[in-house]
């Protein structure tokens, strides 16, 4: 027979576990940073916990909405692509964990 005090303790424990799991699910937001290096653009990604995504996809969209580059992050959370003719570009990154981050690189920043 389960006493009322035991039920209350179990509810508190279950609620605490659920809260921790929900907090952990939001703990890894993605930070995206990019810069032009010569004729290329280097994209770096970071997780809010200080780590880097080990895999994920990248999509680069120009101002008119056209996809100008895309591919997979390398194991260091980086991606490189040829500098586009049209600026700005928005770089969308979706690591395998599912969170998405983006960065917009304009012509002034890309010089």
Within a domain: residue 34? yes
In the structure, what pLDDT confidence band is assigned to residue 86 with cuts at 50, 70 and 90?
confident
Q: How far apart are CA 70 and CA 91, in angstroms?
A: 9
Provide the 8-state DSSP code for 56. E
**pLDDT one-digit tens code per residue, 43-68:** 999 988 888 898 999 999 998 999 99
Within a domain: residue 22? no
* Paired tokens of 87: 């600026």
The per-residue pLDDT of the chain, averaged, comes to 81
CB atoms within 10 A of CB 87: 17
Q: What CATH number should be reported for the domain holding residue 34?
A: 2.60.40.10
**Residue 91 lies in domain:** 28-105
Q: Is 50 left (phi over 0), alpha (psi -120 to 50) or beta?
A: left
């Amino acid at each position: 027979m389960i006493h009322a005090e035991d039920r209350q303790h179990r509810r508190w424990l279950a609620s605490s576990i659920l809260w921790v799991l929900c907090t952990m699910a939001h703990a890894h937001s993605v930070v995206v940073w990019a810069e032009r290096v010569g004729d290329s653009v280097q994209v770096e990604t970071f997780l809010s916990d200080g780590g880097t995504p080990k895999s994920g996809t990248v999509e680069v969209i120009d101002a008119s909405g056209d996809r100008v580059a895309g591919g997979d992050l390398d194991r260091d959370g980086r991606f490189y692509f040829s500098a586009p003719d049209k600026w700005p570009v928005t770089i969308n990154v979706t690591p395998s964990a599912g969170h998405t981050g983006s960065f917009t690189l304009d012509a002034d920043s890309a010089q």
